[in-house]
Every structure is written in C-alpha cells, then in structure tokens.
Structure 1
Amino acid sequence: MEMKRVNSGKLRAIGYAARERLLRVELDDGRVVEHSGVSEEVWRRLSGSSSAWSYYRDNIEEEYAGRAGAKAAVAGAARPNPLDELFGK
C-alpha cells in the first residue's frame, strides 16, 4: 500500500487499498491504525481534505473498526532522530 505523507493534527501518513477497502493511518507517535470496510468515497474525502485530522476524527475513527497495524514505511515519517541518543530529546 502506498502511503501519502500528511501533516494534519496527529496524522503523519495515510494510505488506502481499494480492493481490501482498508485505510491505514500513521499517527505522530508512530502508531499505525488500520480501518476495514472504508469506501473509496471516504478515502477520497480524507485524502483531499484541507483538515484531514478533523475529517478522520469526525468520520472514520469511531465509525470503522480499527486495529493496530504493521509499521508503515514512509520516508521521514515517525522516524527516531539518531541525534536523540547523543543529546536526548
């Protein structure tokens, strides 16, 4: 699944698999949540929203079953900073 990098509220990346009707969201703390049964119309609205975080919370988070998913590979998203080991956060 291809992930789209976003910076909206706690969202850092979103992706959608149309065949499986599966939405994957990556949050700012590195958690990944997968929502099943999501229509392409909901995906289109989320990915095109100027406030994806608000749309996600209002229309997806509690409306579709969510479960912890595998870590998504998105360049620059939720990666630890290698300097944090040296200097702390």
Structure 2
Amino acid sequence: MDSSSSSSAVGLGSVDPQLQHFIEMEMQKQCFQQLVQQMTELCWKCMDKPGPKLDSRAEACFVNCVERFIDTSQFILNRLEQTQKSKLVFSESLSD
C-alpha cells in the first residue's frame, strides 16, 4: 500500500475498523484496476487481429511489454524514493 492510502486511512481514526479495512481494500482494488488499464492501453499494440488463441509472436510481445512496464514503474518508484530521501537529508542538514 502506498503512503497516500495509508495516510488517508489514518485520518479515519474514528471510523469503524471494519469500514476502514473495507476502504483500504477498495483503494487497493482501484490501484490494481488502474494498473491493468494502463498496461492494456500500452500493450494493446501486440494484438494484430483478434482470434481464439494468441500466436507465439503476440504472446511474446505481451510478456515483453508487461515486463518493461513493471521494470519502468519500479525504476520510477525507486527514483522518487531516492529523491525524497535526498530532499529529507538536505532539509535536515539545513535545519542543523
């Protein structure tokens, strides 16, 4: 779960714990659905013509596309984390 969803759940401190858990689960579902939508839009180019089965070329294209998408997403998240950490260290050094 990302920090924005956990911080919004913390803001719901007076809410019933079951409702809070339900909200967190729904937010996770929404994030997953958005991820699937992004991959579908990006990787749709792999499908030349619809058929009952994927040919080996289309299957390989889909696998490569999804792997690139995951690798890119992970790289971006790592970069944002590094940037956030460096900003935190920089702001701490300014306050000293």
- What TM-score do the two structures reach when normalised by structure 1? 0.26
Q: Which has the higher contact order (CA 8 A, sep 6+)?
A: 1
